[in-house]
Every structure is written in structure tokens, then in C-alpha cells.
Structure 1
Amino acid sequence: MRIVYMGTPDFAVPCLEKIMEQKHHLLAVITQPDRPKGRGKKLQPPPVKVVAESYNLPVYQPEKIKTAQFLQTLKELNPELIVVVAYGKILPKEILDLPPLGCVNVHASLLPKYRGAAPIHWAVINGEKETGVTTMYMNEGMDTGDMILSKSIPIDDDDTVGEVHDRLAALGAEVLGETLTLIASGSAPRVPQDHSQATYAPILKREHELINWNRSAREIKNQIRGMNPWPGTYTKLEGRVLKIWRAEIVAGSSKEKPGTVISSTNDQLVVQTGAGCLSITELQLQGSKRLGICDFLRGRKVPPGTVLGAEGGNDIND
């Protein structure tokens, strides 16, 4: 098939490679513009652009896609199908209606659950036991189109969002490959979503990173692993930002208020939560590097009775 591919981050790379593997006629790759990154703020190309150029594919990086110029570019490319994977912009009706076989999206959830911008993060934060990938025909709604295929994977109790992301990226390519084969043969199903079962995965904001120690140990652990490796969760230690990267639920409890360190040894830092206790195993103090708990406590004492916490806005669900 004659395909235009629209995608931007690492998650979209395996799907691009799958299209190439299946020998479709990939007309062009549309991706976000290069953005400044790192301390030097040097312009960095999106991962999809790097891979596309390695295949010598034409790459377009429009700042805006709702323009007559970009629509004309797509018309001249004349795709039969547009494949969209984590592109990062909402497609207008004029683009959705352009290819005769439609626009197909690879979404990292089991629709209609977790429609929206951050489905992998919220599945882990909410303690889901499984998630997956769904391919669908796009319409003007937010992930509301008819489904084609879906496949699921389990989420283990200690999985971070980064680990789930990588597994879903590989699964997404697998499901897309099967989807393209069905579309090419004219046998792709269209399964309407049950909109009454829809849930949403909104874009992450700074307040979602803040740990509310009044929540349960289970909820806080899920928040921590659901923000690892990006954007991370944080609390405060003596007025300085303290990022928490990993923690384990441990037995025991105390009458101390949530956020209080109840045990501090050479290899353990246990904090009281609203229900149960967490042992922090990997953390990072503002201005320092990420450390395992033994290395951290070797350089800085955090005695029992120390209260962790930050001022204001203290709930992930605010």
C-alpha cells in the first residue's frame, strides 16, 4: 500500500520499521520539528526522523498541519492510507478524509480505556494488572474511532512505566503489522467502541509528580513506578527537592504522621504513609545524582522523625 507515516517519539520507531519490513510503499514520514534538549539546548531530531533518514525516506516536519500548504503536500503524496503513532498533534477532518483507506492509529491502551495523551503512565499509576495496544480507524474524536485489533500484556507489580512502554512499543509494531495485512486484503474489521466504558489518560502535569504521603503505600508505589523514568516523582527533604525513583511496600506501621521517617539504617529508609509503610530504595536529592539507598545514606543521614513533604498542591488527582 501507498502509506504516509506520522509519528514522533521512540514509541513510534518499531511501527515505522514494521512498515518498512512489510515492503509497503512508504511515501513520506511526517514528524514533529527538531526541538532544543539538554543543558546546551541544542536542537535534537525526533527519534522517528533519525530512523526515517537512515532509510532515506522523505521527512516533513511542519510546525502546523492545519494549513492549506500542508494539506496540498499530502494531496500530492496521494497516500492510500495514513498511519499515525504518537505523532503529537490532532489531525483535522480534511486530513482524516484524504486517504481512501482511512487513517489508522496505534494507541497504547486497551480501548476504550485510557483514551488520551498518557495511557501508559496512567495504567501503571492506577495499578492496572494489564494493558495493551489497540489499532483503530481515526475519527474527529479523541481516540474514539472503530477498533481493528487489540492485544494485551500483563503489568507486574514492580514494572516501571519505562519497562511497560518498551514492551508496548514492540507489541504495537506486531499489531500494526497484522492490521496492515488485514487492510490490504480488504478484511479489516470495524468494531465500535463502547463509549460508556471509556476512561481517560490526561497529559501529565507538575502536580502529578508530587507525592502525597497521606495516600496508601500501594498508591504511592504505583505513582513512583508510573513516573519512572519520566518525569519522576518528588517530595521535599529539609526544603530541597527529593526525587523518589523506586520504593517497596514493607510490613509494619506506626502512629507517626504520613511522610515521617520511622526507620533509618545503613541500607533502609522507611517512611510512614496514610496506610502502610514504604521503603525507599532509589532516590535523588536536588543537585545530586540518582543513587541506591545504601550509597545515599552513606553520604547523608536522614534520622527517624524526619518529615518528608512539600508545600501546597499535595494530591496526584487534583
Structure 2
Amino acid sequence: MANKKHERRGLGRGLSALMSDVAIDTASHQAGSGRIRGEQLIPVEKITPNPDQPRRDFPKQDLDDLAASIREKGVIQPLIIRKYSTSSDTYEIVAGERRWRAAQLAQLHEVPVIIREYTNTEVLEIAIIENIQRADLNPVEEASGYQQLMDRFGHTQEKLATTLGKSRSHIANLMRLLQLPEEVLVFLRDGKLTSGHARALITTENPVELARLVVKNGLSVRETERLAKAPKVKPAKVKLLPVEKDADTKALEGDLTANLGMKVSVNHTSGKENGKLIINYKNLDQLDDLCRILTAMPLDGSK
């Protein structure tokens, strides 16, 4: 494996130097300026992923879309790789694992690469930065990346904040999320909870139960914060605060109520496309009228 003797020496050459390789002049390359200096073709089977890659999830649809683009235009931006060892002809990915995976789906036998010599510290730095800047790590992946830099290479939050262009509070708040139980972290990875939701759950006695309640009811961050401030109340008995409806929803309710002659409520699930339509009838005559209207209405909306 690459030389490890300088792993705890800080952030080394600095990210501006390291990222000059990753931030190659993609625009000019896409415009058809030819191969990038130092670029060469390497068989895909001689390349392996970086085991410390902070990104763990590669959505199939994203890879399929990228593979389709690669079939049509090829791999536009080369991978950055390093020698697996001085005596081996295999290589480890520094930046570009998504492109490597998609290239295999596109049945490419070779991919364009640029070979560099990096320490383990520099490889992890580049992997984190590339993902943060280009593919938006989920909060758990980003926090795990910072944790690795601190645990394995001795970096401080202050040093990371300065070098990575992040505020110290941003890094500290993300890393606090790792204190949550695994089930809550899964909700975060899947996008069912945001960082704001998760931060509100960190100090609660029952974060898993509250997280399930938040996901089930589509609660906002503010509602989650209110819920978290009542730790002695069992989640099943918590009375959820009504979500303020926007002007369009209220107008729609008014139109439906006027047309049907019955009170109509439209309860849209926050952040999703589903919800409930509730029609209140006062007596059986109104119920009969409603049934008549619904059964006479074509399902395709035609007249």
C-alpha cells in the first residue's frame, strides 16, 4: 500500500494542491480539447475501490443514468488513482468511484485515469472533498468522513474547518449526529429525516421512538423540536400540532366545500405528494348526495 509514514503529519500539501488534480479543467475537456495531460487508459479489472471511501450508497438509478451517458459519450473526466503497492500492477481509486462503477455497467473494458502518488491521509481528504463538492454526501456519510480524519489522522475540528472551508459548528453538529442509534441514522441516510430533525433528537431519552413518530407523521423540524422538549410524555400520547396550511390549500378547501355543500379538509403530507381528503357530512341525506356524485363521476375525469 502507499507510503504511510506521514499519515499523522496534518493536512500535508493542503487541499488546494491536492484538489488541483481532482478539479481538472473539466469544462475544456468536455468542449473537446482532447485528452488531459498525464491521462492514460487502464483496464477496469486492475482498479479497486478505496475501502475508506466515505460514500457507501450508490443509488442504482444514478449509476444507470451515468452508464447511459458513458455509453454515448465515454468517460469524460478521468479517474484519479494511485498504485496499490510498488510491486503491484493494480490501482486504488482516489476519486471517481461512481464513474468506475458506471463504466462497468456500460461494459467498458478500460477507463481514462491519472496516476498520482498520495499518502493515505491525502486519499481520504480527497475522497471526502470530492463527494461533498460533487455528489452531496448524506449527513451520516459526511460526519463519518470527518470522524475518520480526526480518529485516524489526528486532525482537530478547527483544522478541518479552516482547510475544508466549513464552519467549526457545521462539523461539530454533524459529528454529534453519530451519537444517535443506528435506526435513526438509517432514516438520515435514506433522507426520511434531515439533519435538523436528527439534532433535535440527540438529547432525548427515546430517539428511536420519536424518530419513528416524526417519519410516520411527516413532522417538520419545528414540530420535532417541540416533541423532543416533552421527554416524559409517551410518543403514542403526544397530541400533534396541526400543520399550518398554505393559501392554495385553503382556497382549494373553500372551493370544494362550496361546490359540495359539505365541509372539506385537504391534509397534504409535508414534503411528499400524498395526503388525505376528508369530507364531513351532517346527515344521511348528505351522504347519499355524496355517494351519488362520486359514483356518477368518471374515473378518467371525462364528461
- Asked if Structure 1 and Structure 2 have the same fold, meaning a TM-score greater than 0.5 normalized by the shorter chain, the answer is no
Q: Which protein has the larger Cα radius of gyration, Structure 1 or Structure 2? A: 2
What is the TM-score of this pair, normalised by structure 2? 0.31
- Which has the larger share of strand? 1
Q: What TM-score do the two structures reach when normalised by structure 1? A: 0.30
